[in-house]
Structure 1
Amino acid sequence: MAGMDGFGTKLQRGDGETPEVFTEIADVTNLSAPGLSRETIDVTSHGSPNGWMQFLGGLKDPGEVSADINYQPTLHDLLVEDFEDTAPRNYKIVFPDEESTTWAFPAILTGFEPEAPYDDKASASLTFKVSGKPTIS
């Protein structure tokens, strides 16, 4: 059977020390890995074969990571410190496959949106802008 159950995927935050220690961000309910994309450079000319446009690969954008959490101020308000930082911090996504595939990346927290509806759980949405090439291992 193909596929992988996403249950157990972890989002971890580096402490910035040497050696760096990563701690799991608690109560993540939904998580997306970096959405990689790439610009293209149009190199079409009057001599392009059979009138087909031609392209080269341009700059790569490491995208964003988004996460939804069951918000608990005592566990999650340290992320506000990340929002205040201008320099990227290291994060990791660890998948629950047999190899514990890891996506490690520096990122800037660009969004921290808590909500506390009167008839549901407190939650928050996090958005991270990845800065540089993610390392997949």
Structure 2
Amino acid sequence: MSAIDGFGTKLKRGDGGSPQNFTEIGEITQVGGPSLSRETYESTTHGSPFGWRTFIGGLKDGGEVSADVNYDPSVHDILAADFEDKDPRDYQLVFPDPETTTWTFEAILTGLESSAPFDDKLTATLGWKVSGKPTLG
């Protein structure tokens, strides 16, 4: 197995239409997630084998997606409107592997923080909370 270069990964935003059209969110410098997790519930009893705690799986959580961008208000201001929207929107995270593996998920924009240093470029950090089950395909 060989490593895959992350350069060329794309984060896309759905337009809410039917059929859904996805547009790339430009100027992404870093993207992470979804950060899947699952609750566990302890199921240990006095009869648990060899005195080891036992667990069962509980609810799953799609976690969060984060992205850093070279902030361009003309490109990214549409995301400010997403922040005002309480309903999830469809997004895709497309990897640059030969199969173009894609995470498709609904998410709510939960964070949009811009930064304007006097001696560097404009940047922004974006965060989404995934709603429901993300699909890897």
TM-score band, normalised by the shorter chain? over 0.9
Query: Aligned partners of 1:41, 1:33: CA distance in 2, in Å?
Result: 24
Structure 1: which 4+ aligned runs deviate by more than 6 Å?
Answer: none
Alignment of structure 1 residues 1-137 onto 2, 5 Å: 2-137=2-137
Task: String of CA shifts for 1:99-127, please: whole Å, max 9, x gaps.
Answer: 00000000000000011100000000000
In structure 1, runs of 5+ residues without a counterpart are: none
Task: String of CA shifts for 1:14-33, please: whole Å, max 9, x gaps.
Answer: 00011110000000000002
Using structure 1 for the length normalisation, give the TM-score. 0.98
Sequence identity (%):
62
Query: Aligned partners of 2:99, 2:33: CA distance in 1, in Å?
Result: 17
Query: Aligned partners of 1:9, 1:64: CA distance in 2, in Å?
Result: 17
In structure 2, runs of 5+ residues without a counterpart are: none
Using structure 2 for the length normalisation, give the TM-score. 0.98
Amino acid at match of 1:131: S
> What SS is found at the alignment partner of 2:57?
strand
How many residues are treated as equivalent by the alignment?
Answer: 137
Q: CA RMSD in A?
A: 0.7
Query: Aligned partners of 2:27, 2:102: CA distance in 1, in Å?
Result: 19
